[in-house]
Amino acid sequence: MSHPIRSEQEEHFEQLCLDVDAGVTHEQEAIEYFETQTHEPDFDAAIWLDIALYHAPEVARGIIDFVDESDRARSDIAQTIADNLDIAYGDDDCERFTETLRFALANGVPVDFDVLLDGCNRALDDLEDWADEDTKGPLVQLRETLMEMQSGH
């Protein structure tokens, strides 16, 4: 994630989301933790939404109604995904990113397709010298999907 300084609560929420993604924790635990933190003075719903969108879309689905429009508008999920495509480019990653972006768009979270496409192209450039077509395939498919989503949005 690109946010420079994380609070202990944000780090705990991120770990809960990672545990949900790994099947160790039920998403309800992360959703309930999110709800308990919403009244804390330093709580920033946009950051928490990005954590959930990136790590555990099922948690994002559970918290989206608690995130107001102005916080959704501040989401930086496109940049977060783009920044991680050099390390997260397998089939599962790219499918999850597609699902996450469709969910984001359907729920009023802005998606900067130019940032995402730049991230795809950078990751593909990094893979160019050593990866075979099968390795690059999910990223190529993600790039095509992003272009389709961009033209349809």
pLDDT of residue 152: 81
Q: What is the pTM of this model?
A: 0.92
The answer on pLDDT for 106 being more than 80 is yes
Residue 28 sits at the vertex; the CA angle it makes with 80 and 57, to the nearest 5 degrees, is 25
Write out pLDDT tens, residues 107-119.
Answer: 999 999 999 999 9
Per-residue pLDDT for 3 more than 70? Answer: no
pLDDT exceeds 70 at position 138: yes
The domains of the chain are located at 1-75, 76-153
Is residue 12 within 8 Å of 4, Cβ to Cβ?
no
User: Cα separation of 3 and 128, whole Å?
Assistant: 29
- Give the largest CA-CA distance in the chain: 49
Q: What is the pLDDT of residues 53-94, one digit of tens each?
A: 999 999 999 999 999 999 999 999 999 999 999 999 999 999
